[in-house]
A = this chain, B = another copy of it.
Amino acid sequence: MRVLGIDPGLTRCGLGVVDGSPGRPLTLVDVGVARTSPDLEVAQRLHLVDVEIGAWIDRHAPDVVAVERVFSQHNVRTVMGTAQVSGLAMVAAARRGIPVALHTPSEVKAAVTGSGRADKAQVGAMVTRLLRLAEAPRPADAADALALAICHVWRGGAQRRIATALQQSSVTRGAAR
């Protein structure tokens, strides 16, 4: 499964692509950050980020796009841009018929570090280890995007295994009738 993780933001939007399946080593495919200048108008900035997200989806053809779930309790000064970019990311995927998954920051931290309250350094360290990189991806938004993708590989995989198990158990029950 190939997952594009998107850590939405207007000044810095993290983008990370990971190949993997549960229980097997993960592979880094690509990682980067889309940046826009605060000197531009908001519509122009959103448009630039949207173009970049679309280019990443088209270039890497992910099976799933995983986007960080944004909460309005976040920093009030930046939450609007973050919410707007998360919406663009979801529509960029939906428009191309690619499934979208949302994961909260706590879910992502818990998936890669074992603790939902891990700090940025811990997340960066685990992403580095899990993807066997020489050093942590910078800035933190890039590492966060990879952590999102890893989280989805593992959670999505678990969800699929449960669905498969349920399906097989109903097949068995059907055969036993």
A contact residues vs B (CB 8 Å cutoff) = 41-44, 46-47, 50, 70-73, 76, 79-80, 83-88, 90-91, 93-95, 100, 102
Contacts of A91 in B (CB 8 A): 43, 46-47, 50, 88
Contacts of A93 in B (CB 8 A): 43
Contacts of A47 in B (CB 8 A): 90-91, 94-95
**Shortest Cβ distance from residue A92 to the other chain B in the assembled complex, whole angstroms:** 9
In the complex, besides A46-B94, A83-B83, 16 extra interface pairs with C-beta distance below 8 angstroms are A41-B100, A42-B102, A43-B91, A43-B93, A46-B90, A46-B91, A47-B90, A50-B95, A70-B80, A79-B83, A80-B83, A83-B87, A85-B87, A87-B87, A87-B88, A88-B88
